[in-house]
Amino acid sequence: MNLHDHWIDGVSVAPADGARLERVSPADGRVIAAAALGTAGDLDAAVVAARRAFDTGPWTTLPGSQRGEVLLRLAALIEENLEALAFLEAEEAGKPLAVGRSELQFGIELIRYAASLASGLSGRLLSESGPEAMGLVLQQPLGVIGVICPWNYPAVCLLQKLPFALAAGCAVVAKPSELTAGTTVQIARLAREAGLPDGQFNVVIGTGEVVGEAMTAHPGIDKISFTGSGRIGRRIAAKCGESLKRYSLELGGKGANIIFADADLDAAVEGAFQGFTINKGEECCAGSRILVEESIAGDFTARLLARCAAARLGGVRDEEAEIGPLIHEQHLQKVLSFIEGARADGARLLCGGERLTGGDYAKGTYLPPTIFTDVRPDMTLFREEVFGPVAALMTFRTLDEAVQIANDTTYGLANGIWTGSLDKAMAMTRRLQSGMLYVNTYLELVPQLPFGGMKSSGMGHENGPEGLQEFLTTRSAFIRLRTAF
């Protein structure tokens, strides 16, 4: 069993009162970890360390290229320890090991990309005010950043924030989920080994009700960067508004995966399957509303159901598994309640719908791919984020109808388009109301592209140059010279 302690000012810190949360494996019910449960006092100690590091430490004043070198060393260390980190990530979050590996590899790409941005920071010189005056526009690190990460992608969500904040010159206090804290703590250790100064990156494990609330209210934190539910995101926005603290929010979604008749059907079936089952559906960008052009609906549905029937579910040690267990029993019961609600509303179940029991599944929280049809826009299944491998299959006749169905949601995080027509793809790209759009693929990311939502899916961006801008502040200086230049 792993013990996860806080990481504050470059050292491991055990919980002062001994309070820990035991993490039970979602695959088989074993106790696999015990994480420290932090207090407001632990959070304060971490903020004090981060504040000192930012205000007086060397990191902020280092040339960006040198900050980038440390980040590159961190990426190399994660790569050296990839297998151990991937297993830790997969076991705690309920993923097949291959999925854990791919997520850590993407995290490495994010760090290397952020390192490349660090050396490119620049301001502007304005000389239009006459020969005896000039203006300077400065971009400087924002300060101490409070990072709050969810349990579904512990490493990726951290690494979409941390390296960009560090590249900008900020200090960071991170609160991982108490359920999946392992990789965050280990990355903090590796960051120190890579040469990051003490206090520059701190980790306080704990609940949102205690550590998250303390972080949002703490006057020593300059910005909150949050990934999680819309309910908590709204609370964070309200709390930050009280003190005018900056914040960025990456929240939930209810994506539409739209398949036109001229699509490559084999690719579209696989893309639709992956779109709602990847990470067992615990995915904010999930394409959980599958919209199929009516003329191909029968063929597409038959192929998709066959693909779901062939899917292999299993735990971290099953190298052939595609879909892992849901995060814990309470969440499984919540997803099952959505399924029962869809049945009660009149939706027709095509596959799945029941937890797997017996054999290797007896002590786990496994739910097979579940698809409903005859879904109406007024149904809860259409409107609310389920966060499990559950999809609503619907049909459309025209492009306009597909746009109307897809946009009929308060969310705006991601949508997918499958078509052989570039004109159709561009028309849909312009009209669909989401921050992310995938054409003939789904949930494929590269670090260079900004990631963020519209409407109630959040505000702000991660990744891309925009991800760095989230951790910078702009200042201006007007300078009157004694002599002309």
Contact 73, 194 (CB under 8 A): yes
Q: How confident is the model at residue 129 (pLDDT cuts 50, 70, 90)?
A: low
Position 465 confidence tier, pLDDT thresholds 50, 70, 90: very high
pLDDT over 90, % of the chain: 94
User: Are 430 and 466 found together in one domain?
Assistant: no
Euclidean distance between CA atoms 214 and 209, whole angstroms:
8
Say if residue 6's pLDDT is above 70: yes
Q: Has residue 369 been placed in a domain?
A: yes
Report the length, in residues, of the chain. 485
Regarding whether 337 and 264 lie in a shared domain, the answer is yes
Domain of 214 in residue numbering reads as 2-251+453-476
The verdict on residue 448 lying in a domain is no
Q: Decide if 186 is inside a domain.
A: yes
Cα-based angle 333, 154, 173 (whole degrees, multiple of 5) = 125
Each residue's pLDDT tens digit, 235-283: 999 999 999 999 999 999 999 999 999 999 999 999 999 999 999 999 9
The residue whose two tokens read 């929240």 is 251
pLDDT at residue 484, rounded to an integer: 61
One domain for residues 154 and 278: no
How far apart, in whole angstroms, are the C-alpha atoms of residue 19 and residue 400? 56
Residues 234 and 276 in one domain: no
Q: What is the CATH number of the domain that holds 326?
A: 3.40.309.10
Q: Residue 131: what pLDDT? A: 77
Determine which one of 157, 170, 240, 284 is catalytic. 284
Strands of 289-293's sheet, edge to edge? 348-351, 370-373, 390-396, 289-293, 256-259, 414-418, 436-439
Going by C-beta distance under 8 Å and a sequence separation of 6 or more, which residues neighbour residue 253? Answer: 284, 285, 286, 385, 411, 412, 413, 414, 434, 453, 457
* Same-domain check for residues 160 and 267: no
pLDDT, the chain, mean: 96
Whether residue 482 lies inside any domain: the answer is no
HSE (CB half, 13 Å, CA atoms) of 483?
A: 1
Coil/strand/helix, residue 226 = strand
| One domain for residues 351 and 471 | no
Q: Is residue 447 part of a domain?
A: no
Indicate if 351 belongs to the active site.
no
Residues 57 and 167 in one domain: yes
Q: Is position 444 within any domain?
A: no
Let me know: does 94 contact 447? Beta carbons within 8 Å: no
- pLDDT for 368-421, tens place per residue? 999 999 999 999 999 999 999 999 999 999 999 999 999 999 999 999 999 999
pTM: 0.97
**Within the chain, how many helices (H) and strands (E) appear?**
16, 21
Q: Do 58 and 45 belong to one domain?
A: yes
Q: Per-residue pLDDT averaged across 102-125, rounded?
A: 94
DSSP state of 126: E
Q: Residues 250, 282, 283, 293: which is the catalytic one?
A: 250
Pair (464, 324) in one structural domain: no
Is residue 323 a part of any domain in this protein?
Answer: yes
**414: in domain:** yes
- Residues 198, 192 contacting (CB under 8 angstroms): yes
Residue 88 tokens, joined: 């830790």
Say yes or no: 282 and 196 in one domain: no
DSSP string, 157-225: HHHTTHHHHHHHT-EEEEE--TTS-HHHHHHHHHHHHHTPPTTSEEE----IIIIIHHHHH-TT--EEE
Which tens digits make up the pLDDT trace of 323-368?
999 999 999 999 999 999 999 999 999 999 999 999 999 999 999 9
Report the side by side order of strands in the sheet with 171-175: 11-13, 6-8, 201-203, 171-175, 144-148, 223-227, 246-250, 458-459
Torsion of Cα atoms, 376 then 380 then 384 then 385, to 10°? -90
Name the residue type at position 438: Y
Looking at the fold, whether 335 and 197 belong to one and the same domain comes out as no
Kindly state whether residues 235 and 271 are assigned to the same domain: no
Active site residue 282: no
Q: What is the pLDDT of residues 17-30, one digit of tens each?
A: 889 999 999 999 99
Total structural domains within the chain: 2
